[in-house]
């Protein structure tokens, strides 16, 4: 129980005081090792998931069902020492160039994660791959390493990587630089929010890798600055999020321009009937790999902040943020305008806050993210643009100031905390 500035009280709602034993409805989270995929058990060839209806316009899912408040309350699983994953391979054992191995070692990589251990040999063999994995499992390296080796073996090879958000594209490009080192392999990052002319200039220079968002890539194709028929490999990363954001038509446009004989890699946190349809449409006899460990972050303590009638929501948020333990907080809002207004309100109240949303240009979004990553700001207020793919270390709390549109978005929001075997806390405001 805490008091806001007006003297009214609000509570972190659960059966016991504070983060006591909560009441919650089943959310379909896996337990044990039932979803380990191909390592430590039988190969997993089928992908579960409830089918969702597609709306008539823009390819965006009609998935706006209300979420019962009980789904926002859950105790974190105790962090226990588990048997370490023992990979079948080591990075030095992969059949990749010595120069690439040296760069991998320089980055500090020693043993592959499960998705890397399983996927890299199939990608090196030229197979199409479907990978289902949680964010933070190392899937970026799982496709970058074998594709960079593919370029070293054939300098004319071109790779296209499509992602849903600008931030994820830039993050993957930075990972690419780390693995590339001093090798003569070049990339062009093509995203909105920045001028297109520099990207067109970059595409005119020698390059092997293009990383971009669907809308900007389509724009570059329409301007005849990007010839997709030259690309022999394509990665669709966070494919489920691209569908949710309404990019299905852009994805089909891009795939139709690709070379017919290509290698296609698709990565997704979930497999729905729509994703399964795209797999059949875009991939040929893919190797299906699942290393997903469950829908809800098991290290995240989840609870609700129940507001009383007439209570000021920002006052209640203020009182939470003033607590010492709220040291690095990611706050999610529903709209761009609401996110910007909230961040300004928090700054006026003396908090170090930043915001990211679709109306901010890319340089300002990157500046805000860097300040939050480097602990120069305590708070990052964001729309769901920050819910997927971004790896921001040591986030202590995720606060859903606005309830997300669907439970899947909620899962990805709270997954920004409780990472790297640390316990995080997720709070959702309800009236």
More confident residue, 359 or 288: 288
Reported as a single tens digit per residue, the pLDDT across 292-342 is 665 556 789 999 999 998 899 999 999 999 999 999 999 999 999 999 999
Residues 230 and 250 in one domain: yes
Mean pLDDT, range 393-422, rounded to an integer? 86
What percentage of the chain reaches a pLDDT higher than 70? 80
Domain final residue, candidates 290, 312, 342: 290
More confident residue, 1 or 156: 156
- Token pair listed for 110: 């020693």
Q: Nearest Cα to 354, choosing from 126, 362, 198, 344?
A: 344
CB atoms within 10 A of CB 332: 28
Q: Is residue 173 part of a domain?
A: yes
pLDDT for res 59: 38
pLDDT for res 420: 63
Pair 194, 170: CB distance under 8 Å: no
Q: Beta strands 329-332 and 397-400: pairing type? A: parallel
Residues 126 and 190 in one domain: yes
pLDDT for res 412: 81
Residues 323 and 276 in one domain: no
Domain that holds residue 157: 91-290
Reported as a single tens digit per residue, the pLDDT across 134-158 is 767 889 999 999 999 999 999 999 9
With cut-offs at 50, 70 and 90, classify the pLDDT of residue 30: very low
- Beta-carbon-side half-sphere exposure of residue 322 (alpha carbons within 13 Å): 12
What percentage of the chain reaches a pLDDT higher than 90? 57
Residues 261 and 179 in one domain: yes
Domain final residue, candidates 243, 269, 290: 290
Mean pLDDT, range 346-361, rounded to an integer? 92
Q: Which residues contact 117 (CB under 8 A, 6 or more apart)?
A: 39, 87, 88, 89
pLDDT for res 47: 38
**What's phi and psi for 64, nearest 5 deg?**
-105, 30
Q: Is residue 33 part of a domain?
A: no
Residues 285 and 299 in one domain: no
pLDDT for res 65: 53
pLDDT mean across residues, the chain: 82
Pair 199, 220: CB distance under 8 Å: yes
Residues 252 and 302 in one domain: no
pLDDT for res 13: 46
Q: Is residue 312 part of a domain?
A: yes
Task: Give long-range contacts, CB 8 A cutoff, 24+ apart: 110-113.
Answer: 111/87, 112/87, 112/138, 113/85, 113/87, 113/137, 113/138, 113/141, 113/142
Q: Beta strands 300-306 and 424-430: pairing type? A: parallel
**Which helix H or strand E contains 296, and what residues bound it?**
none
Q: Is residue 36 part of a domain?
A: no
CB atoms within 10 A of CB 358: 15
Q: For the chain, what's the residue count?
A: 431
Residues 140 and 273 in one domain: yes
**What's phi and psi for 366, nearest 5 deg?**
-65, -40
Residue 205 has pLDDT above 80, yes or no: yes
Domain final residue, candidates 290, 319, 346: 290
pLDDT for res 362: 77
**Which helix H or strand E contains 241, and what residues bound it?**
helix 239-244
Residues 246 and 324 in one domain: no
Number of domains in the chain: 2
Beta strands in 103-149 (DSSP E): 129-132
The CATH number of the domain where 311 resides is what?
A: 3.40.50.300
pLDDT for res 360: 85
pLDDT for res 421: 67
Q: Is residue 50 part of a domain?
A: no
What global pTM score does this model have? 0.70
Separation of alpha carbons 304 and 257, rounded Å: 47
Residues 310 and 269 in one domain: no
Residues 277 and 206 in one domain: yes
Q: Which residues contact 375 (CB under 8 A, 6 or more apart)?
A: 328
More confident residue, 220 or 33: 220
Secondary structure of residue 331 in the 3-state scheme: strand
pLDDT for res 120: 97
- Token pair listed for 429: 């405001």
Q: Is residue 391 part of a domain?
A: yes
Q: Is residue 60 part of a domain?
A: no
| Locus of tokens 């793919």 | 389
Reported as a single tens digit per residue, the pLDDT across 245-298 is 889 999 999 999 999 899 999 998 888 889 999 999 999 999 999 986 655 567
Residue 419 has pLDDT above 70, yes or no: yes
Q: Is residue 68 part of a domain?
A: no
- Token pair listed for 120: 């890299």
Percentages of the chain per state (helix, strand, coil), in multiples of 5 = 35, 15, 50
Q: Beta strands 329-332 and 424-430: pairing type? A: unpaired
Residues 326 and 255 in one domain: no
Residues 352 and 264 in one domain: no
Residue 73 has pLDDT above 90, yes or no: no
């Amino acid at each position: 129980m805490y008091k806001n500035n007006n003297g009214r009280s609000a509570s972190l709602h659960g059966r016991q005081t504070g983060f006591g034993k909560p009441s919650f409805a089943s959310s379909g989270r896996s337990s044990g090792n039932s979803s380990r995929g191909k390592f430590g058990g039988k190969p997993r060839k089928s992908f579960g998931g409830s089918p969702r209806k597609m709306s008539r316009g823009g390819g965006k899912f009609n998935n706006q069902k209300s979420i019962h408040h009980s789904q926002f309350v859950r105790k974190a699983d105790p962090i226990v020492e588990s048997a370490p994953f023992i990979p079948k391979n080591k990075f030095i054992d992969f059949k990749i160039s010595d120069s690439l191995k040296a760069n991998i070692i320089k980055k500090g990589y020693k043993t592959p994660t499960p998705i890397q251990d399983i996927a890299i040999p199939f990608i090196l063999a030229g197979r199409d791959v479907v990978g289902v994995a949680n964010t933070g499992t190392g899937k970026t390296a799982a496709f970058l390493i074998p594709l960079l080796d593919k370029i070293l073996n054939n300098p004319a090879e071109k790779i296209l990587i499509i992602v849903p958000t600008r931030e994820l594209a830039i993050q993957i490009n930075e990972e690419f630089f780390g693995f590339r080192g001093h090798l003569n392999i070049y990339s062009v990052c093509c995203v909105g929010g920045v001028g297109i002319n520099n990207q067109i200039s970059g595409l005119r220079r020698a390059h092997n890798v293009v990383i971009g968002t669907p809308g900007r890539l389509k724009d570059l194709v329409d301007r005849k600055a990007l010839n997709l028929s030259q690309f022999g490999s394509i990665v669709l990363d966070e494919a489920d999020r691209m569908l949710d954001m309404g990019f299905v038509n852009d994805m089909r446009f891009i795939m139709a321009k690709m070379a017919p004989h290509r290698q296609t890699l698709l990565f997704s946190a979930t497999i729905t009937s729509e994703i399964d349809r795209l797999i059949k449409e875009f991939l040929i006899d893919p190797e299906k790999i699942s290393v997903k460990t469950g829908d809800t972050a098991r290290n995240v303590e989840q609870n609700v902040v129940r507001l009383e009638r007439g209570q000021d929501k920002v006052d209640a948020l203020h009182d939470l943020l003033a607590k010492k333990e709220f040291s690095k907080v990611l706050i999610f809002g529903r709209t761009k305008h609401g996110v910007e207004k909230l961040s300004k309100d928090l700054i006026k109240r003396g908090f170090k806050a930043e915001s990211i949303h679709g109306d901010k240009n890319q340089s300002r979004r990157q500046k805000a993210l860097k300040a939050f990553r480097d602990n120069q700001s305590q708070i990052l207020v964001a729309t769901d643009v920050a819910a997927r793919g971004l790896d921001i270390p040591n986030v202590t709390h995720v606060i859903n100031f606005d309830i997300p549109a669907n439970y899947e978005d909620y899962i990805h929001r709270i997954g920004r905390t409780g990472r790297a075997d640390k316990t995080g806390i997720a709070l959702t405001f309800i009236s």
